[in-house]
Amino acid sequence: MAARCAEQLNAHKLEVETAHGVSAHVFSLDLTAEVGAADLHAQIKAAGLSVDILINNAGFGRQGEFVERSLEVDLGMIDLNVKALVADDMIEQGSGKILHVNSTAGFMLGPLQATYFATKAFVKSFSQALDEALRGKGVTSTVLAPGFVETEFAKAADLEDTGLVNGDGATAESVAQHGYDAMMAGKLVTINQFGLRFMINCLMPFMPYRMKLKMISKMQTKA
């Protein structure tokens, strides 16, 4: 497990070890830093560990007009959501499974979250291309694209009181189980809710771009 907050990481470590009788390792570092991903890779190697399953769940978003936000924040979003994804050790091992925890935003256009939606489109494309390139080498790559999930993301992204997060979201546990099962089955892309799958696969491809932009913009606007 890797994240910035050492206290929360160690709490999760104790929870996992107590519940499952395993040894967990935590690495406290900032993946938005220029060499964050490289530092994590080096620390994993230094600990004598090999990665059989890689779950990329780090990421953040921010609501608001692109021209009104700090460029530094958006560049940090690109660094974390895009640049921190890649590792090639599994190729040498000849086996491995990767799960990119993405978002249905990767299938849409987000006027009030322009950078976030664009980074998620990258993850969707990258994960599928990676799977095609590596499947013959024993490595699969799955992209999980959930809708709203009941976590702290909405608050951190300043999305409270918007249509994107109003109503009941999926639980983190149910989404994690759905993604894990899809990864273990080697699926290419998975969306956890039937209604979202139908809208994205069967409705949105036939909608004019301007209509989609206005629809998502309305959903992103605070009440």
Considering only residues 195 and 29, tell me which one the structure prediction assigns the higher pLDDT.
195
Is a pLDDT exceeding 60 seen at residue 204? yes
> Over the stretch 153-193, which tens digit does the pLDDT of each residue have?
767 777 778 777 776 788 989 999 999 999 999 999 999 99
CATH number of 51-220: 3.40.50.720
Q: How confident is the model at residue 213 (pLDDT cuts 50, 70, 90)?
A: very high
Model-level pTM? 0.79
DSSP sequence for the chain: -EES-HHHHHHHHHHHHHHH------EE--TTSTTHHHHHHHHHHHTT---SEEEE-------S-GGGS-HHHHHHHHHHHTGGG---HHHHHT-EEEEEE--GGGGS--GGGHHHHHHHHHHHHHHHHHHHHHGGGTEEEEEE--S-BSSSHHHHTT-TTBTTT-SPPBPHHHHHHHHHHHHHTT-SEE-S-HHHHHIIIIIGGGS-HHHHHHHHHHHHSB-
pLDDT at 79: 67
Is a pLDDT exceeding 90 seen at residue 10? no
Query: What is the mean pLDDT of the segment spanning 203-213?
Result: 93
pLDDT at 149: 84
> Over the stretch 102-155, which tens digit does the pLDDT of each residue have?
899 899 988 888 888 888 898 898 899 889 988 998 989 999 999 888 877 767
pLDDT at 60: 58
